Amino acid sequence: MAPQRLSPSNLKGEHKPAAQNIVLLTAGGPLAEIIVNGLTERLGPITVIREEQETKAAVIKRRARLLGWPAALGQLAFGLVQRIFVKGNARCREVWSQFGLNPTPNRDVVVHEVPSVNSQACHALLAKLNPEVVAIYGTRILKEATLGSTNAPFVNYHAGINPKYRGQHPGYWALASGDPDHAGVTIHLVDQGVDTGRVLYQTRVAFTDADSIATYQHVQAAYALPLFARALLDAKAGRLNPKQVDLPSKQWFPPTLWAYLSNGVMRGVW
């Protein structure tokens, strides 16, 4: 299934408020608030379960186990440089205005706090809420016990084209790899892998020269929201149609500082 060329304007207003008993698992933050507001605008009220964000120390230790300490420390250095020097605030505001995205927390949304989506507290809450479908955005990888805590399907929004760009910063990596045709978004079912579940919807995303690693995911959210809402309605109606996508599969991680600088200088991708 090749990524389609769709635009947010083509898809906007497709859904009518009709959602009840949809639960969204997330870790919070401005992008998560954009997803919450975009889904409630299209589907009506949803319930949010928000996990605590992992500490930086825990993240670095996990990456060191996977990739080695040099890569983990290089990613930490990139994160520090990005926080100080890579600013996208003005461009983000442009994107929010252009696509009608809202990063402000919605006080009308019911939010439950849990230590982790894989905690017993989250399992018990999912069992109690008994949702028709569980939406996922930006959480830890879900473990088998979490996926088994309810009979509802789990549907994830991933800011990349699966399976070629699984993992983190996939839009950036597609551009840095000279592969803009696979810079996009995927809505997929969740299994125990990292963005390995079967695909429901995909579309390519068009960026501008003003975009950078600080803004790619804000643009992608605009394209993803109509598809995410469509997939959740599909799940409620029992008409999910997942597909396997014939692409190479690779998991990506945040760039190291030296990879980021190299891609910026050599390829103009920042």
Quick one: CA torsion of 55, 142, 76, 264, rounded to 10 degrees? Answer: -140
In degrees and rounded to multiples of 5, residue 154 shows phi and psi of: -105, 125
> Does residue 178 have a pLDDT over 70?
yes
* Tokens at 214, concatenated: 């600080």
Q: What is the mean pLDDT of residues 45-64?
A: 94
What average pLDDT does range 33-61 have in this prediction? Answer: 95
Q: Is pLDDT above 60 for 5?
A: no
Stretch 8-24: mean pLDDT: 59
Confidence of residue 6 (pLDDT cuts 50, 70, 90): low
The greatest distance separating any two alpha carbons of the chain, rounded to the nearest whole angstrom, comes to: 53
Given the structure tokens 């309605």, which residue do they identify? 233
Domain borders along the chain are 8-12+20-267
Which positions ≥6 away from 152 have C-beta within 8 Å?
Answer: 23, 130, 131, 132, 133, 134, 235
Q: Give every CB contact of residue 50 below 8 A, 6+ residues apart in sequence.
A: 26, 27, 28, 32, 111, 112, 113, 114
Report the C-alpha gap between 165 and 249 in whole angstroms: 7
pLDDT digits (tens, 9 = 90+) for 106-160: 999 999 999 999 999 999 999 999 999 999 999 999 999 999 999 999 999 999 9
Rounded to the nearest angstrom, the gap between the alpha carbon of residue 88 and the centroid of all alpha carbons in its chain is 18
Average pLDDT over residues 184-211: 96
pLDDT of residue 88: 85
Which pLDDT tens digit goes with each residue over 220-234? 999 999 999 999 999
**CB-based contacts of 200, cutoff 8 Å, min separation 6:** 155, 187, 188, 189, 227, 231, 234, 240, 241, 242, 243
Average per-residue pLDDT for the chain: 92
- Identify any residues that bridge with 51 across adjacent strands, giving them in sequence order: 114
Burial class (CB in 10 A: 0-12, 13-18, 19+), 191: middle
pLDDT higher than threshold 70 for residue 181: yes
When the candidates are 3.40.50.12230, 3.90.1580.10, 3.40.50.2300, 3.40.50.1450, the CATH number that belongs to 8-12+20-267 is 3.40.50.12230
Q: Percent of the chain beyond pLDDT 70?
A: 93
State both tokens at 19: 């959602």
Cβ neighbours around 188 below 10 Å, total: 26
- Closest by Cα among 205, 183, 185, 186 to 197: 186
pLDDT at residue 85, rounded to an integer: 81
